[in-house]
Amino acid sequence: MAGFDKDAFWLKILSLYNEAKENNYVLKLDEERVRELKSLYIDLYIPIEEIGHYDDDKLMKKLMTAIVSIYKLDKDTMGNGGEIVQLVNTVNYDGRNMYIRFAQISPVKMRRLELGKTRQQVAERMGYSVAAVRNCEVSFCDLSRQPEKLVRKLANALECEPEIFLQ
């Protein structure tokens, strides 16, 4: 489960991440959306023959643990060991609604992690230094103030349109 495994559950959480960006990285899921997420989790991770072993509270705890366990090991930082980049900081459930607080990851870093590329690979493809890529990944970096050529090359290296970095 751990890691940015690109299965349906990961894609769902990623879509919620993109939705949460509009609300300061916090998202409230109502009962219906919680049911949908729980159903997806059960379909993917709970064998049908074991479903009877789980009451609703236990399933919700497993679901919440799965959500906060989504991470990516970024080997570009902290020496050879790398850095674990968490997608979700906290998940709370009040019996009806689920509240997910996502980590604030810059669009550049998020895209690089989605592609599984290192900063070195992106830098080489851009024709820039690793430091330039690192600077673009800083969450407070305003790419609209960077040279258009750099943003275009960055988008090309990350296989996307430059506009996603300028929102």
Q: Are 30 and 38 in contact (CB under 8 A)?
A: no
Domain of 147 in residue numbering reads as 107-165
Whether 98 and 132 map to the same domain: the answer is: no
Whether 43 and 93 map to the same domain: the answer is: yes
Residue 120 to residue 77: CA distance in whole angstroms:
11
Whether 16 and 96 map to the same domain: the answer is: yes
pLDDT mean values, one per 10 residues, the chain (167 residues): 61 88 93 96 89 91 91 62 79 96 90 86 94 85 88 95 85
Whether 76 and 15 map to the same domain: the answer is: yes
Flag whether 2 is in a domain. no
End-to-end CA distance of the chain: 31
pLDDT at 166: 79
Whether 75 and 143 map to the same domain: the answer is: no
Residue 119's CATH number: 1.10.260.40
Whether 74 and 35 map to the same domain: the answer is: yes
pLDDT at 76: 60
pLDDT at 108: 92
Looking at the 3D structure of the chain, how many domains does it have? 2
pLDDT at 121: 93
Whether 35 and 88 map to the same domain: the answer is: yes
pLDDT at 81: 56
pLDDT at 75: 65
pLDDT at 3: 44
Nearest to 101 by CA among 86, 91, 115: 91
Whether 90 and 130 map to the same domain: the answer is: no
pTM: 0.75
